[in-house]
Amino acid sequence: MAIWDTVEDGDRRICAACGTAVRSYQFRLYPTESSMFERCVGLAWCSGCRIYSSAMVHISRTRVLADALSSLPEDESVRLRRSEAKLVDYLDRQDHRKP
Ligand SMILES: [Zn+2]
- 74-90 per-position pLDDT tens digit: 999 999 999 999 999 99
Q: Which residues contact 14 (CB under 8 A, 6 or more apart)?
A: 6, 7, 20, 21, 22
CA of 41 to the centre of ligand 1 (A): 21
Confirm if 38 and 59 have CB atoms less than 8 A apart.
Answer: yes
Beta bridge partner(s), residue 42? 26, 55
CA of 36 to the centre of ligand 1 (A): 32
CA of 4 to the centre of ligand 1 (A): 9
Cα–Cα distance measured from residue 78 to residue 62, given in angstroms and rounded to the nearest whole number: 24
Decide if pLDDT at 96 tops 90: no
| Residue 50 dihedral angles phi and psi, to the nearest 5° | 55, 50
Q: Check residue 19 and give its pLDDT.
A: 96
- 31-73 per-position pLDDT tens digit: 999 999 999 999 999 999 999 999 999 999 999 999 999 999 9
CA of 62 to the centre of ligand 1 (A): 33
Decide if pLDDT at 1 tops 80: no
